[in-house]
Every structure is written in C-alpha cells, then in structure tokens.
C-alpha cells in the first residue's frame, strides 16, 4: 500500500541526490519488494512518518540491525513532503527512544558532505561525527565525502555529556510513526 508513495518520494531528484544514487533508477516493483522483505525480517524496521492530526504520510524512517543481538542499528530516513518543519527530528527522536528502550546500544548513520540539513539534524540529535569516508560517494559526475556518525545509548540518555545542538523552536510532537 505504501510502495507507490515511497516510490514517488524516492523518484524526486532532490531525494535521489541527498539520500540515494542518482545513477540508479528507482523502480516501483523494487520498492514493493523492499517493503515486503522488511516487513518479514526481524532485523529490519521500516516505518512511515505521518502527521499526527491527519495521518498524512510525509516520509519514512528505517533501521537495519547489524548483529544478531540487535545491539547495533543502521539508520536511514527521508521526508518526501513537509521538509523544513523539524518533523524529521521529531520522528527520529521517537524511533531512537524506541530502539534504546528495546536494548539497542548504538545507532550508525551516514550523510553526504553536501547534505547540510541531514548533517545538522544528526548533530543536533546528539550523533557524533566519527569519521569521513573520503570521496566514497560518486553521483555519476563527481565524488563526495561521506560523513559517518554514531550515537550511543548513553549519548541519547545524557545529551548534556555530548554535543547535542539545541534547537530554539523544538516541535511539540506533530508527527507519529506507523508500520
Ligand atoms: C534530511 C531531512 C530528513 C531533514 O528533515 P527536516 O525535518 O526537513 O529538517 P529541517 O529542515 O528541520 O532541517 C534540519 C536542520 O538542518 C538545518 N538546515 C536545513 N537546510 C540546511 C542547509 N541547506 N544548510 C544548513 N543547514 C540546513 C535546519 O535549519 C535545521 O537545523 P535546526 O534544527 O538547528 O533548525 C530532509 O531534508 C530530507 O528528507 N532530505 C532528503 C533525504 C535525505 O537527505 N535523507 C537523509 C540521508 S542521510
């Protein structure tokens, strides 16, 4: 049911540039199979972000656990609509709270060096910049660095010890997650 929506978002040249590989075509059938696979896989979580009041889908957040003990997770996310309102921060915070509550120890994420919204978002959520994979991304025309981030459960529970950046207009929960 969600695959045409996700297909539409991932076909957007902005999302392809910021979160994907512009050289690889997005196919509706691939998205359908991806959702189906993740729904049946205990090492994956693929959630739609919806506006709380209208339940309009506006994006997705997803994780892959990288070990059998589900202690280390890989985070990916995108908003297809309503970017620029702080909704991603809200949704990812909900997801992180759930992951750490359920025993995840560490969350990894990556962002291209030119994805300033994502870099800023991850840092404000408390993720630490842990390294740079130099020129690890090629968009068909040029190389870009990939910035690697990590967030430990302790960073999330005690942001005062880390580098979590403040946001003046913290949203008051306008989003929700739905499977
Ligand atoms: C990344 C993304 C999820 C952010 O979601 P969002 O809710 O729209 O986030 P915001 O617009 O509130 O931006 C997050 C922060 O980045 C800042 N920001 C946004 N665009 C920026 C830019 N071009 N330069 C510098 N900072 C920028 C915002 O001011 C905000 O900072 P603040 O919290 O201190 O105010 C969204 O832009 C998106 O879906 N992008 C395409 C897909 C993508 O990049 N996915 C992540 C792959 S790693």
Distance CA 48, CA 85 (A): 17
Per-residue pLDDT of the chain (179 residues; tens, 9 = 90+): 689 999 999 999 999 999 988 888 899 999 999 999 998 888 999 999 999 999 999 999 999 998 878 899 999 999 998 999 999 999 999 999 999 999 999 999 999 999 999 999 999 999 999 999 999 999 888 999 999 999 999 999 876 655 544 443 444 345 677 66
Q: Which residue's alpha carbon is nearest to atom 34 within ligand 1?
A: 167
Class level of CATH domain 3-178: alpha beta
This prediction has a pTM of 0.90
**What confidence score (pLDDT) does residue 55 get?**
93
Cα 132–chain centre separation: 18
Domain boundaries defined on the chain? 3-178
**What confidence score (pLDDT) does residue 172 get?**
38
Q: Which residue's alpha carbon is nearest to atom 1 within ligand 1?
A: 118
Q: Which residue's alpha carbon is nearest to atom 28 within ligand 1?
A: 117
156 φ, ψ (degrees, to nearest 5): -70, -40
* Per-residue CA distances from 66 to 85, 165, 166, 167 (Å): 31, 27, 30, 31
178 φ, ψ (degrees, to nearest 5): -135, 140
Q: Is the CB of 92 under 6 A from ligand 1?
A: no
Distance CA 64, CA 71 (A): 11
Cα 148–chain centre separation: 13
Q: Is the CB of 75 under 6 A from ligand 1?
A: no
């Amino acid at each position: 049911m969600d695959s045409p929506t996700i297909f539409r978002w991932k076909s957007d040249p902005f999302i392809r540039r910021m979160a994907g590989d512009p050289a690889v075509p997005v196919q509706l059938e691939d998205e359908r199979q991806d959702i189906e696979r993740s729904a049946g896989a205990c090492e994956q979580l693929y959630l739609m972000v919806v506006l709380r009041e209208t339940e309009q889908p506006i994006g997705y957040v997803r994780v892959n656990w990288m070990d059998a003990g589900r202690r280390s997770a890989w985070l990916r996310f995108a908003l297809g609509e309503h970017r620029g309102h702080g909704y991603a921060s809200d949704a990812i915070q909900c997801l992180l709270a759930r992951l750490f509550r359920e025993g995840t120890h560490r969350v990894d994420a990556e962002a291209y060096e030119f994805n300033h919204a994502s870099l800023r978002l991850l840092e404000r959520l408390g993720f630490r910049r842990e390294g740079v994979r130099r020129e690890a991304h090629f968009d068909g025309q040029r190389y870009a660095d990939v910035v690697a981030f990590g967030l430990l459960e302790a960073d999330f529970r005690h942001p005062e010890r880390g580098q979590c950046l403040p946001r003046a207009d913290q949203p008051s929960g306008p989003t929700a997650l739905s499977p």
